[in-house]
Amino acid sequence: MSIKLNALFSDSYVDISQYRDQHFKGNRYEQEKLLKQSCTLYVGNLSFYTTEEQVHELFSKSGDVKRIIIGLDKVKKTACGFCFVEYYTRADAENAMRFINGTRLDDRIIRTDWDAGFKEGRQFGRGKSGGQVRDEYRQDYDPARGGYGKLVQKS
């Protein structure tokens, strides 16, 4: 009886993206396998001032949150605009991808993506100046993310 009609019932918000962590210890296949089972989300485009409490309130709307790890500037050890949200179940994380990704937190459209799982060290920005890479090179002025990009600031 049951055929699934793949042509119609897509669930595209839950698909894994093109991003792969370059620092991941393992091959592409292993990373993808983990992404497809993961209960952890990367959350990006946060304001530097967004708190753990705000993240918790928003992401609890799709299920019980196990843990939140706020991303930090490697040098300053202050929030640098991203975090990880880990759920107890995959289903709850999927609902976050479907209904919280692309909506606003602290007035900013945030973006969520699957993460292979938090490991110590991954809470730090990988940009040369200590924050995220994207803040190294961007040209625009974003008061919630330290103003101009680092490259612009140095020039």
Partner 1 sequence: MSRRRHSDEGDAGSQPHKRRRTSEPIEIEDRLESLICRVGEKSTSSLESNLEGLAGVLEADLPNYKGKILRILCAVARLLPEKLTVYTTLVGLLNARNYNFGGEFVEAMIRQLKETLKSNLYSEALYLVRFLSDLVNCHVIAAPSMVAMFENFVSVTQEEDIPQVRSDWYVYAVLSSLPWVGKELYEKKDVEMDRLFNQIEGYLKRRQKTHVPMLQVWTAEKPHPQEEYLDCLWAQVQKLKKDRWQERHILRPYIAFDSVLCEALQHNLPPFTPPAHSDDAVYPMPHVVFRMFDYTDAPEGPVMPGSHSVERFVIEENLHCIIKSHWRERKTCAAQLLSYPGRNKIPLNYHIVEVIFGELFQLPSPPHIDVMYTALLIELCKLQPGSLPQVLAQATEMMYMRLDTMNTTCIDRLLNWFSHHLSNFQFRWSWDDWADCLTQDIEKPKPKFVKEVLEKCMRLSYHQRIVDIVPPSFSALIPANPVCSYKYEEETEIPLPGLAMATTVSNAIKNRASNEEILIVLKDVPNPNQDDDDDEGDGFNPLKIEVFLQTLLHLAAKSFSHSFSALAKFHEVLKNLTESDEGKLHILRVLYEFWRNHPQMISVLVDKLIRTQIVDCAAVANWIFSPEMAHDFTRFYVWEILHSTIRKMNKHVQKIQKELDEAKEKLEKQQNKKQRDSGDEEDMEKNSEDEEGQLEEQIERLQEKVESAQSEQKNLFLVIFQRFIMLLTEHLVRCETSGIDINTSWYKNCIERLQQIFLMHHVIIQQYVGTLENLLFTAELDHHILAVYQQFCALQL
Are the C-beta atoms of 89 and 65 separated by less than 8 Å?
no
Residue with smaller CB distance to partner 1, 8 or 18: 8
Segment interacting with partner 1, rule: CB under 8 A, options 15-23, 35-43, 51-59, 147-155: 51-59
The Cα–Cα gap between 85 and 105 comes to 14
Measured CA to CA in angstroms, residue 35 lies from 2, 90, 132 at distances of: 28, 11, 21
- For the chain, give me the number of helices (H) and strands (E)? 5, 6
The residue written with tokens 């300053």 in the block is 76
Are the C-beta atoms of 53 and 66 separated by less than 8 Å?
no
Segment interacting with partner 1, rule: CB under 8 A, options 17-25, 27-35, 98-106, 147-155: 98-106
Q: Does 112 bind partner 1 (CB under 8 A)?
A: no
Q: Does 153 bind partner 1 (CB under 8 A)?
A: no
- How far out from the chain centre does Cα 28 lie? 19
- Of 15, 57, 141, 147, which one interacts with partner 1 (CB under 8 A)? 57
Segment interacting with partner 1, rule: CB under 8 A, options 5-13, 37-45, 129-137, 143-151: 5-13
Q: Binding residues for partner 1, per CB under 8 A? A: 1-3, 5-14, 51-54, 56-58, 61-62, 64, 67-70, 95, 98-100, 103-107
